[in-house]
Amino acid sequence: MSMQLSPELSLPIPSPLGEAAYRAFQWSKNIFGFAHKALSTQASELMLSLLSDLQALSSGKSIPPRARVGVSAATLQILRARYEQLLQADWQDAEAGYYPHALLFDNPWLDFARHYPEVWLDLPQIARRVHGKRYQEFSEDISTEGYPKYYLQNFHYQTNGYLSDDSAELYDLQVELLFGGTADAMRRRIIRLLKDALDPTLTSPHILDVACGTGRTLRMLRGSLPKAALYGLDLSAAYLRKANQLLQELPGELPQLLRANAEAMPYADATFEAVTSVFLFHELPGPARQNVIHEMSRVVKPGGWLVICDSVQLLDSPELEETMEAFMHTFHEPYYRDYIRDDLGERLQQAGCEVLRRETHYVSTYTLARKR
């Protein structure tokens, strides 16, 4: 169960105490995430080398060891500084009232504890797929019909990609581990951009979160804009089921969830005051990226807002090139190499939007654009 964002919990916590608690909470997630990464990487490498040895024994050929891609001390220092800035900005935005302090501690602990052993139990399967270079593998009981080809991938080597309930159960935990506990803090960076942009006289703005996944961003939007009419769209039925479960825990109106391809959204033109999207574009090939941006622009009202958050790119963070390389090496992300060289601003302009802000926070980049 996640922490409930009840009105009592959104009461201000005394600042110095609250900030210390917030930092301790983030640090614990950070340490756990990095310890997990170190141990699971070692275990995976061991399994991969065993599989290579077995193959070499049976084929009589020696198999070269898999190259290691790490990051230098200089890059680690940049990441550490960016991490500190992220926490500071997150805390300050809660202090400034952009979102309730309770959001900073909204963590599904029990869910995470329940699913953590499964992360380990999945490792041998993942090692076999990595060893066999099988990145588009789905169980027989999973129907892959009707999905775009680019979507049928074991993104991050996830078993059954986005198409199973097990994958949806593990996803939030895996992302938390991957980002050392900063995934939600990075998602929250869209809130200030969005709230500053929205017309404050609107009591119930209509906001769509594209590729909402398990609903983490919608949860934050519900906490920070309690009266907004929220909508979420995703291609995965399993992820939407999980989102529905998590969003039902919150007070207020349930966001309307819809399963559809973001390249052809079943909404009328000019439906929303704002459209958001978090961590989607790096998982799309270039033409699909453009189609989704066109659709986001089509369904937003003229003068309305688009807020996109995704991985940093070479354009804005060339100093993190090593981190981007390591990410590509460690996870199956077939469109990432192209994504980090892509100009989303140019794509937004082609779709009739004006880019007003670009920001980077930790390992994510944020674009705020306005529909002309």
Ligand X SMILES: C[S@@+](CC[C@H](N)C(=O)[O-])C[C@H]1O[C@@H](n2cnc3c(N)ncnc32)[C@H](O)[C@@H]1O
Q: Which residues bind ligand X (CB under 6 A)?
A: 151, 162, 175, 187, 211-213, 216-217, 234-236, 239, 261-263, 278-280, 283
Q: Which is nearer to ligand X, 82 or 216 (CB)?
A: 216
**In angstroms, what is the minimal distance from the CB of 150 to ligand X?**
8
Count of CB atoms situated within 10 Å of the CB of 61: 8
C-beta of 217 vs 313, nearer to ligand X: 217
| Closest CB 158 distance from ligand X, rounded Å | 10
Q: How far apart are CA 262 and CA 170, in angstroms?
A: 23
Q: How far is the CB of 352 from ligand X (least distance, A)?
A: 20
Closer CB to ligand X, 131 or 332, in the complex: 332
Residue, CB closest to ligand X? 213
- Cβ burial, residue 259 (10 Å; 0-12/13-18/19+): middle
Residue reference for tokens 């680690």 = 76
Cβ closest to ligand X, residue 175 vs residue 363: 175
How far apart CA 102 and CA 223 sit, in angstroms, is 9
CB of 110 to ligand X, least distance (A): 19
Residue 105 to residue 318: CA distance in whole angstroms:
32
Are 2 and 218 a contacting pair, CB within 8 Å?
A: no
For ligand X, the closer CB: 48 or 348: 348
For the CB of residue 69, give the shortest distance to ligand X in the complex, in Å.
21
d(CA 21, CA 314): 35
Report, in Å, the least distance between residue 354 CB and ligand X: 24
Give the span between the Cα atoms of 142 and 220, in whole angstroms: 31
The nearer residue to ligand X, 48 or 217, going by C-beta atoms, is 217
CA–CA gap between residue 279 and residue 310 (Å, rounded): 4
Token pair 């951009």 is found at 193
User: What is the number of residues in the chain?
Assistant: 372
212/275 with CB nearer ligand X: 212
Q: Which is nearer to ligand X, 13 or 363 (CB)?
A: 363
Task: Quickly list DSSP for 334-365.
Answer: TTHHHHTT--HHHHHHHTTEEEEEEEEETTEE
Q: How far is the CB of 143 from ligand X (least distance, A)?
A: 15
DSSP string of 306-340, one letter each residue = EEEEEE--TTT-GGGHHHHHHHHHHS--TTHHHHT
> Smallest distance from the beta carbon of 166 to ligand X, in angstroms?
14
Residue type, 130: V
